[in-house]
Structure 1
């Protein structure tokens, strides 16, 4: 005998999504375009009397891009969004996100090459910072010319990787820097 008072997993999932607002995947209005994973919204510019546009990637809380928006012919209201403008905004916002990701990667991943103590080539030494609110740290790793890992130690996240530090670490037999 089954208990009909308990919802089935399918019914429970349906009722959980009923509370969410209906957000159409595609929406093309004068001040709001939603398409291709992005939302463009024309808003009042808080810095002056004009208008601004914000680009928000689906799933993100903050806009990837906020910029000035053109006035319409009446010099009071904003120019309506259109396909060309939306596509340009998506391209620009995507580029901003890509640059931000590259900058973050460059901050968290460093690499230098040093001469092997045996004199048979170069070693690559990398520093990979693992950001964490609770326990940030970094991994200092040495690789031979064939990409084989030779050693890895955990270091402080503010460890400064440079040729001198890497060379000293290699010369010290890959012991954890003090």
Structure 2
């Protein structure tokens, strides 16, 4: 079975005292600009900014950083991956909201999906009945605030653009 994404034969695997890299992550020990200590920056493959930066332990000489090793790298990858996953979940939650209110024929779920376009951000406001059928949809400003009151007002106004 050929799995090029997993094997990544063209990417070198680096394991030095201050730099470890696998196919998806790079851990780099850097000088902490805020004090005399050290930090470790975790870069996800293809990203120019670190996904996570945290303190790093001093070595025995109390001047140089402790060398990276396999166990530390695995822990750093898990921590950085979890941080990225949580950030993505939070971003998704900010862009996709829903509220359920009373409609004329039962419960209505009002959804707001924000489209974060750099030049012209907007949002789509839609309503679904209890079986998931779309009752209405309208384009609104990206700054539209969805809550129970605004959702109920839209339903009560029979889908007139808010």
TM-score for the superposition, normalised by structure 2:
0.90
Q: Secondary structure at the match of 1:59?
A: coil
The structure richer in strand per residue is 2
Report the 3-state secondary structure (helix = DSSP H, G, I; strand = E; otherwise coil) of the residue aligned with 1:155: strand
2:129 equivalent in structure 1 = 144
How many Å apart are 1:105 and its aligned residue? 1.1
1:36 CA displacement:
3.8
Work out the CA distance in 1 between the residues paired with 2:23 and 2:112.
Answer: 37
Q: Deviations over 1:128-154 (max 9, x none)?
A: 111112111110000010111111000
How far apart are 1:107 and its partner, in Å? 1.2
Matches within 5 A, 1:39-118: 39-118=26-105
- Residues in 2 aligned to 1:103 and 1:25: alpha-carbon distance in whole angstroms: 33
Q: CA deviation at 1:167?
A: 1.1
Query: Which residue, 113, 116, 133 being the options, matches 1:131?
Result: 116
Residues 11 and 23 of structure 2 are in contact (CA less than 8 Å); yes or no, is this contact kept in structure 1?
no
Name structure 2 gaps, 5 residues minimum: 1-9
Q: Rg larger in 1 or in 2?
A: 1
Runs of 4+ in 1 over 2 A off after TM superposition: none
TM-score by length of 1: 0.83
Identify the residue that residue 16 of structure 1 maps to in structure 2.
Answer: none
CA distance in structure 2 between the aligned counterparts of 1:94 and 1:25, rounded to whole angstroms: 21
Cα deviation, 1:63-109, whole Å, max 9, x if unaligned, reads 01111110111111111100100000001111111111111111111
CA RMSD for the aligned pairs? 1.2
Aligned residue pairs total 153
